[in-house]
Structures are given as structure tokens and as C-alpha cells.
Amino acid sequence: MQTPVPSSRFGIAALAANVQTSEDPEANYLAAANLAFCGQNKQALRLLRLAVQGNYCSWPAMDSDPFFASVRAMPDFAAIRAAGMACQQNFLAARQHMQQEAHQ
């Protein structure tokens, strides 16, 4: 027997509360995007934060991903965005350092 698909906002909220985090930060980013699209902003920001903390920098993608339109004006998004920018800068600096070492 199939479980009926929730048709109400309450049904979506119940599903959103049960979204599992992943060890793969890209999977957390994708889940966050889907949650934001469904209006589950709190859960979306939680998973987006986990994605960035897992070194899936997500910036500048999060700025143009239409699924995150509902959360871009939220203060938590700004903090996550700043962390994503720092993540990317750290990655680029580490990559440049490795490239310089390789050429020595």
C-alpha cells in the first residue's frame, strides 16, 4: 500500500522535519534547495549551513539558484553566504599554494 502524498503545507512541514542530513555536503545543498523551494526555510537554512560547513562552498551558486529565492533576504542566509564566500577563498588559496609548490 502506498503512503499518500501530503497535499497540505502541514504535510510538507512534517516531511521536511524528517529530512535526514547526509555525510555528502552536496546532497545537503540539494536537499536545502528543495526545502527552500517548498517554503521550509528553517530546515533549508539548516541544511545549507551543513553543506558549507562540510566544505561544499556553494557560493556563488546560492546567489543565483532560484530555489533559494525565498531565503535570500533572511539574516541567516547572509551569514551562510559569508561562510560560503570564506570557504571558497580558503579553497582558492589552498589550490594556489599547491600549484606554487608543484612548480618549484
* Residue-by-residue DSSP string for 33-77: HHHHHTT-HHHHHHHHHHHHHTT---TTHHHH-GGGTTTTTSHHH
Do the domain assignments include residue 3? no
66: left (phi over 0), alpha (psi -120 to 50) or beta: alpha
Q: Is residue 1 a part of any domain in this protein?
A: no
- Rounded to whole angstroms, the Cα distance separating 64 from 19 reads 24
- Alpha-carbon distance of 100 to 79, in angstroms, equals 32
Per the structure, how many domains does the chain have?
Answer: 1
Does a structural domain hold residue 61? yes
Q: Is residue 40 part of a domain?
A: yes
Q: What is the pLDDT of residues 67-97, one digit of tens each?
A: 999 999 999 999 999 999 999 999 999 999 9
Higher pLDDT, 12 or 38: 38
Residues 2-27 pLDDT 10s: 555 555 566 777 777 778 889 999 99
Q: What is the pLDDT of residue 7?
A: 53
Residue ranges making up the domain that contains 87: 9-102
